[in-house]
């Protein structure tokens, strides 16, 4: 815990620069397999990046604290499903309300990201968006970032809020309403992490949120 407490700059740099850290393994994988789709390439690059970060944290002796799964019972899975359904319902209501008040421009999604989703096969979306993204993002934002903040004595609400803010601004493919929705999701996931004592619950909830969102 003492070592984790001192890694605040590591957590901030990794969290803020995460989208750029993924670029290097993406270039390498693309060079080896140039015909791979962008969405699959993104998924593999995220896996490799998280493995590298985990290896670094392991060398520092804090990987087990950052990746602690907490409670992994069947009840936790059920809680994750219910939490995801409630979060998506609230997010849909919030997005609709803000769009009605300020116009639909805030609901925009970048053309390149939309094209990736539309041209990707279902199995590719399940791999990159439903499986890889929840594990990678929860490891970084609710594991490393929140782990450091909580170890430094931050309150659970404040730690969840800051990690959610960093998490949200990484999703630049969305308009401002979408970013606010992602921040709300991040806040919920952070509080779930605190409530369950680890990452298993927020990972499962994140997985179901992405699955429901893709289905919708």
pLDDT band, residue 52 (cuts 50/70/90): very high
Q: pLDDT tens for residues 176-188? A: 999 999 999 999 9
**DSSP-assigned states of every residue in 74-123:** HHHHHHHHHHHHHHHHHHHHHHHHHHHHH-GGGG-B-HHHHHHHHHS-HH
* pTM for the full predicted model: 0.94
Residue ranges of domains in the chain: 2-215
What is the structure's pLDDT at 118? 84
Instruction: Compute the mean pLDDT over every residue in the chain, rounded to the nearest whole number.
Output: 93
Taking residues 10-23, what's their average pLDDT? Answer: 91
Average pLDDT over residues 43-72: 95
Q: Looking at the predicted structure, is the pLDDT value of residue 2 above 70?
A: no
pLDDT tens-digit series, residues 93-142? 999 999 999 998 999 988 888 888 888 889 999 999 999 999 999 999 99
Model confidence at 216: pLDDT above 80 = no
Q: Which residue has the tokens 């960093």?
A: 166
The pLDDT value recorded for residue 35 is 85
- Find all residues with CB under 8 Å of 124, minimum gap 6, and list them: 37, 39, 40, 43
Q: In the predicted model, is pLDDT for residue 19 greater than 90?
A: no
pLDDT at residue 172 in the model: 86
Q: Which of 209, 88, 83, 187 is nearest to 142 (CA)?
A: 187
What pLDDT, in 10s, does the model give residues 83-94?
999 999 999 999
Q: What is the pLDDT of residue 119?
A: 85
Hey, what are 31's tokens? 């060079």
Judged against a pLDDT cut of 70, whether residue 205 lies above it is answered with yes
């Amino acid at each position: 815990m003492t070592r984790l407490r001192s890694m605040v700059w590591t957590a901030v740099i990794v969290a803020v620069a995460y989208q750029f850290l993924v670029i290097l393994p993406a270039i390498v994988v693309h060079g080896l397999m140039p015909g791979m789709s962008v969405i699959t390439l993104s998924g593999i690059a995220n896996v490799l990046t998280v493995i590298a970060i985990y290896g670094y944290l392991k060398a520092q002796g804090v990987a087990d604290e950052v990746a602690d799964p907490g409670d992994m019972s069947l009840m936790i899975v059920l809680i994750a499903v219910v939490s995801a359904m409630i979060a998506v319902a609230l997010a849909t209501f919030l997005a609709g309300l803000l769009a009605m008040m300020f116009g639909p421009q805030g609901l925009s999604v970048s053309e390149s990201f939309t094209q990736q989703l539309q041209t990707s096969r279902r199995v590719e979306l399940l791999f990159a968006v439903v499986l890889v993204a929840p594990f990678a993002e929860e490891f970084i934002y609710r594991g490393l970032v929140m782990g450091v903040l909580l170890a430094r004595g931050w309150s659970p609400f404040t730690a969840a809020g800051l990690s959610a803010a960093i998490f949200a601004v990484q999703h630049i493919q969305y308009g401002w309403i979408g970013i606010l929705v992602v921040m709300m999701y991040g806040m919920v996931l952070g509080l779930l992490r605190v409530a369950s004592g680890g990452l298993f619950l927020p990972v499962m909830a994140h997985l179901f949120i992405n699955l429901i969102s893709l289905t919708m």
